[in-house]
Chain A
Amino acid sequence: MSGGRALWLRVWAAVVFGYLYLPILVLVVFSFNSQKLNLRWQGFTLDWYKVLFADTRIQEAAVNSLVVAGAATSVSTVIGTLLALALARYRLAQPAQLLLYIAIIVPEVVLGIALLIWFSQLGITTGLLTVAAGHVVLCTPFVALTVRARLAGYDRTFEEAAMDLGAREWTTFWRVTLPAIWPGVLSGALLAFTLSLDDYVVALFTAGPGATTLPLRIFSMVRFSITPEINALSTVWVVGVSLILLVGQMCVKKSPS
């Protein structure tokens, strides 16, 4: 068996990548289409980008999403990283792994309604804060597992050396441990940020009427109208996320391993 070099496999891979990218390409190309119905190509225009950047509801939703993603990423990165360190060091912390697995495997709709029940029991009004609280649950396991994977090949003798040389625990953490696991922390944070930015389901149940995030806004736009403005928004999104990913990749590669 010639493995990955077989011709049909290569053809297949090309077809599947075409299938993955063609719809996205269509979105991008048709964001420059002057026909409002967006059925056939008519001519080049940038009008939809003007419409998009003048759309205050989109701007509001984008700001909301960034605030939520920023908050959820900060919290989940800190607690997820600490948990990963605990899992790598103490056997006593192992049961916590069960919580991580539950968080990963529970269907999003179930998490959403469970949080809705909890918040209504507590009498908390839903809003951006409750969305962020839900997103921390979504993101923490991914941060913890990414950092944990990074710690797999980590040699603790450096920490012991630092302590022997008189560094306090806190100094050791900042100067030795954190630089070593930094790429893992960074990719975990990146993952958390994109997960939060992407989430529609948990936000649907935990956002109040005044707290529309970008996916919620996109959903109602897609549901009720078809306008090239959504294409323009998609293009901005695709370009933005690709940039974040590229920058993240570069940061991870640059940092010392």
Chain B
Amino acid sequence: MLAAPAVIYLLTFLAVPLSLLAATSVLSRGPYGDVVFKFTADNYTRLFDPLYLKILLDSLTIAGATTAITLLIGYPLAWWMARAPQRVRSVALFAILVPFWTNFLIRIYAWILILRSGGLLEGLLAGLGLWRGSIELLYTPWAVLIGMVYEFLPFMVLPLYASLEKIDEAQLAAAADLGARPFQVFRRVVLPLGLPGLAAGSILVFVPAMGMFAVPDLMGGARTLLVGNLIRNQFLVARDWPFGAAAAMVLVALTLALLVLYTRFADQETLV
């Protein structure tokens, strides 16, 4: 009884719409951008067009690079937080969350101010005497990567922290006492025990990064088109809903595949 309102709501506004989306992906586009009830697999075969394969590949590359870089930046930070005194930990956790709560468009805008030609980074580099002249960074895939890393870093740090925090100090001491050098302690103790957090963080970064279109829109210029942009364009610009739905289904399939992989080596509770 208690569950009924939420279940009914989520069935109505989540399960039914997603089923409709799946159905739309095998229907045809009508002459006026409407959806016609005629079964076709064309929407999926069209995705194999080199143009769209490139978009998919670019998305995988950028999402993958974002995941790898947030992991490299976030892992030492999460480890430091997990081993810091209790009071420092809660302050650090709060400090990670505050930028995360400021609107993500605002954060993108901050980076546009920094990266644009004649912008603050150029001024800083010139001021330090490191580099004179313009840096052509904004409106390139590199800018998209910078923006994505900044957006998604907290998603990586939080699950990593949650997982690393649980590691018992005694286990580290035991490994060290038995003669393991710091790197060995990391590889043999910390890394395996923190694996659920690493996997959760990677999924929480990779999945939304694959569907992200606001960062490429604002920082990538016309040259960077990712799966998210493709889907958005089919729905709001080109009005080819069935094709957009097919692209979305590919995104969903990829997400599910990652989740299945994840549940193979982590217990379900660390998922969120």
Contacts and interface: CB of A to CB of B under 8 A. Distances in A.
Interface string B24-39: 1000000000010000
Nearest to B76: A12
B92 A13 contact: yes
B245 A113 contact: yes
Interface stretch (A94-102, A160-168, A178-186): A94-102
A113 B21 contact: yes
B225 to A, nearest CB: 14
A71 B21 CA distance: 26
B5 A82 contact: yes
Nearest to A85: B2
A8 B73 CA distance: 13
A51 interface: no
A117 B236 contact: no
B52 interface: no
A79 interface: yes
A30 B113 contact: yes
Interface in B169-227: 169, 172, 175-176, 182, 185-186, 207-208, 210-211, 213-214, 217-218
B133 to A, nearest CB: 15
A86 interface: yes
A176 interface: no
Nearest to A40: B123
Contact of B114 (A23, A75, A78, A99): A23
The size bracket of the interface on B is 35 or more
Contacts of B214: 200-201, 219
30 contacts: A1-B185, A3-B79, A3-B169, A9-B83, A10-B80, A19-B73, A82-B2, A90-B2, A90-B3, A99-B14, A100-B10, A102-B10, A105-B207, A105-B255, A107-B211, A107-B255, A109-B232, A109-B251, A110-B18, A110-B248, A117-B21, A137-B9, A140-B6, A197-B103, A198-B101, A205-B235, A214-B103, A218-B106, A234-B106, A249-B94
Interface of B: 1-3, 5-7, 9-11, 13-18, 20-21, 24, 35, 73-74, 76-77, 79-84, 92, 94-99, 101-114, 116, 118-120, 123, 150, 153, 169, 172, 175-176, 182, 185-186, 207-208, 210-211, 213-214, 217-218, 228, 231-232, 235-236, 241, 244-245, 248, 251-252, 255, 259, 271-272
Given A1-B175, A3-B169, A108-B208, 15 more contacts: A16-B74, A17-B95, A26-B110, A26-B113, A27-B110, A39-B120, A79-B9, A99-B14, A101-B271, A111-B17, A114-B14, A115-B17, A117-B241, A204-B232, A223-B218
